[in-house]
Structure 1
Amino acid sequence: MIKVILHNNDQKAIIDAPVEELPEIVAREHSMLWVDLTDPTLDEIAAIGKVFSFHPLALEDTMADDIRPKIDQYEGYAFIAFYGMTHSVAGCHSHSVDIFIGSNYMVTCHDSALPVIDETATRWRQNVAALGNRGSGFLLYSLLDALVDGYFPVIDQITERAEELEELVLNGGEPRLQADIMALRRELLMIRRVAGPERDVMNVLVRRDPPYFGKKEIAYFQDVYDHLLRIIDSVDLTRDMLAGVLDANLSMVSYNLNVVVKRLTSSSIILMSVTLVAGIYGMNFVNMPELDWRFGYAFALGLMAVIGVAEFLVFKKIDWL
């Protein structure tokens, strides 16, 4: 699906147009044009590239899966690979958004419908007179800012879950918590792998003064850059906390295992001592005075009881039982 939002002299037209009509639309005079492609086919991508004269390598990156966040600058425009983030019961999910940005147009491409795209488009339509006159730089900022702001609720949910796991560990670690902790660490690692390169992308937009929009937008890109720094710091802090929780859980599991081993060892020693007495009096020698003694049986049982109780008290004192 291709959606075209056109701004011209404080007037706007929202057109759901097939890709074949884009050459005519692009040829018209306009102050700002946004072309959004949702789950495009290879033919649609190729047609878009032909209309805007995009470099084949940039189009190839658009069709690639799991591309690293980056910015490639070409003559008169740039290609930006960026990611949004959502969180569900199943875990974190990243959504790629490929962006072509020129002096008076922006082309976005993504595999599925994204709320952040609709929200940015709605915001632009509602403020089309002001935002349209600001050019492509401010529209790009609006989209990138919305994508980056989506990271914060995801990190908040992960941090909240990490604190819950920490509480469970402090109340007594369990082996099953290892899998939950490692799952959260993997989610944080995925966010870190995306946010780090995205910080570099924003650094380029802030430092290199791209020619396809003015200097006024640099302050806005700096705001997105600062948000990414906060995200990276939060991810690193939460990962460090989870590393401590993981170590604490391993220590608690090891401690609980040692407690079980000590109890089993103590019980085994007590039983072995009693078995030793039973084994001695169970030998079939002729000359065993206790066999003919009237109180021999009671003496043997009493001896076993005394040894067992004595060992039990000793192990109890040293906290093995």
Structure 2
Amino acid sequence: MVTLHTFQRQQVQQLTDFDQISELLLQPRTMIWLDLEQPTDAEIALLREEFGFHPLAIEDALQMHERPKIETYPGYYLIIFYSVEYDAKQRTLQFLPVALFVGANYLVSIRSGPVRHVQETLARWQSNGYMPGYQVSSILYALIDAIVDDYFVALDALGEQIDDIEDEIFQRGRHEVASDIFTLKKDLLLLRRIVAPERDILNVLLRQEVRIFHPRELTYVRDVYDHLVRITESIDLYRDLLSSALDSYLSLQGNQLNQLVKVLTLWSIILMSCSLVAGIYGMNFALMPELEQPWGYPFALGLMLTIAVGLAIYFKRRRWW
């Protein structure tokens, strides 16, 4: 799937004739946004022939698990960001890389699946009320800002899931709580591995090491940078909460095990006491007074019952069970 949009005179137009790209690139006042979803070999060839992208840059853009980064090439830049969606059914995060080629008057986005932020950004531009200026840097900011804003939605969903886990820890029969905790910790770790490099990307842009944004636009970029800092802090906080929840769960499991061992130990003491009486009367001595008495057997059982009840009452008063 490929879409081509032009921004000219505060209008957004979608083009279908890709032969016009060469002519449009020669027009400084016309901006091009080429969006490729699962590009074919012909579309990849278009990137090499029309835009002159380096083969290694195209290879990085097509990778599914490329680390977020920014690279400088003659006449353009390559930025890799990640879109994050929360899957409510699976209760996990879905990560989708978005590769962005940024030139003087064009933006090329490459993705392996649907990213709704592209259409949302176009809709904002068509409404002509999102951000002043019709430059590539403004479009790039609008897209990155939409992607980063969704991180908060994903974090809120994870926060609710953590609250549910904390409530379930003290419920009996929830043996899968530990599995849920480890799954959440894995998602948060993956999210942090994405957010931290993206924060470095914006830091590079803010320091003007790569001149993409005009100085008056840096305020907007700094706002996105602050969002990523807040997201990083929230991720660290959630990971600490999960670690505490896991410790509480393991402690609770240990307490339950200790309680079970204590109950079994008390029953063992009672049974050992009864076994002592049975062992004494089970010895094969000829001169045992009770052996020939008619009340000897009931006396032995009564003695066992008395010892068992007495020990049970003693343990109960001591609050050992």
Structure-2 residue corresponding to 1:77: 76
Structure-2 residue corresponding to 1:259: 259
- Rounded Cα–Cα distance in structure 2 between residues aligned with 1:318 and 1:175: 31
Q: What residue identity is the alignment partner of 2:128?
A: N
- Rounded Cα–Cα distance in structure 2 between residues aligned with 1:214 and 1:201: 16
Structure-1 residue corresponding to 2:22: 23
Structure-2 residue corresponding to 1:104: 105
Structure-2 residue corresponding to 1:68: 67
Structure 2 contact 28–105 (Cα < 8 Å) conserved: no
Q: 1:208 to 1:289 in 2, by over 3 A?
A: same
Q: What residue identity is the alignment partner of 2:109?
A: T
Post-superposition Cα deviations, 1:219-246, rounded to whole Å, max 9, x if no partner, equal: 1111110000010011100110110010
- Rounded Cα–Cα distance in structure 2 between residues aligned with 1:147 and 1:33: 20
| Structure 1 residue 22 displacement after superposition | 3.2
| Structure 1 residue 111 displacement after superposition | 0.6
- Rounded Cα–Cα distance in structure 2 between residues aligned with 1:175 and 1:284: 51
Q: What residue identity is the alignment partner of 1:99?
A: L
Q: 1:16 to 1:254 in 2, by over 3 A?
A: farther
Structure-2 residue corresponding to 1:241: 241
Gap runs ≥5 in structure 1: none
Q: What residue identity is the alignment partner of 2:134?
A: R
For 1:175, what is the secondary structure of its paired residue? coil
Larger displacement relative to structure 2 (90-99 or 210-219): 210-219
- Rounded Cα–Cα distance in structure 1 between residues aligned with 2:275 and 2:62: 76
- Rounded Cα–Cα distance in structure 2 between residues aligned with 1:161 and 1:112: 26
- Rounded Cα–Cα distance in structure 2 between residues aligned with 1:212 and 1:299: 98
Structure-1 residue corresponding to 2:53: 54
- Rounded Cα–Cα distance in structure 2 between residues aligned with 1:173 and 1:243: 21
- Rounded Cα–Cα distance in structure 1 between residues aligned with 2:213 and 2:192: 29
- Rounded Cα–Cα distance in structure 2 between residues aligned with 1:266 and 1:306: 16
Task: Map 1:76-95 to 2 at 5 A.
Answer: 76-88=75-87, 89-90=89-90, 91-95=92-96
Larger displacement relative to structure 2 (119-128 or 149-158): 119-128
Larger displacement relative to structure 2 (209-218 or 47-56): 209-218
- Rounded Cα–Cα distance in structure 2 between residues aligned with 1:167 and 1:249: 11
Task: Map 1:1-321 to 2 at 5 A.
Answer: 1-17=1-17, 19=18, 22-27=21-26, 30-88=29-87, 89-90=89-90, 91-127=92-128, 133-170=133-170, 174-208=174-208, 210-321=210-321
- Rounded Cα–Cα distance in structure 2 between residues aligned with 1:215 and 1:258: 64
- Rounded Cα–Cα distance in structure 2 between residues aligned with 1:70 and 1:37: 19
- Rounded Cα–Cα distance in structure 2 between residues aligned with 1:298 and 1:213: 98
| Structure 1 residue 64 displacement after superposition | 1.7
Q: 1:298 to 1:10 in 2, by over 3 A?
A: closer
RCO (CA 8 Å, sep 6+): is it higher in 1 or 2? 1
Query: What's the % identity of the aligned pairs?
Result: 40
Q: 1:207 to 1:272 in 2, by over 3 A?
A: same
- Rounded Cα–Cα distance in structure 2 between residues aligned with 1:317 and 1:134: 82
Gap runs ≥5 in structure 2: none
Q: What residue identity is the alignment partner of 1:232?
A: T
Q: TM-score, normalised on structure 2?
A: 0.92
| Structure 1 residue 29 displacement after superposition | 5.8
Would you say how many aligned residue pairs link Structure 1 and Structure 2?
319
- Rounded Cα–Cα distance in structure 2 between residues aligned with 1:29 and 1:77: 14
Post-superposition Cα deviations, 1:262-314, rounded to whole Å, max 9, x if no partner, equal: 11111122112112212321333321110122332232122111211122123
- Rounded Cα–Cα distance in structure 1 between residues aligned with 2:210 and 2:197: 18
- Rounded Cα–Cα distance in structure 1 between residues aligned with 2:132 and 2:42: 29
| Structure 1 residue 134 displacement after superposition | 3.1
| Structure 1 residue 250 displacement after superposition | 0.3
Structure 2 contact 25–106 (Cα < 8 Å) conserved: no
Q: TM-score, normalised on structure 1?
A: 0.92
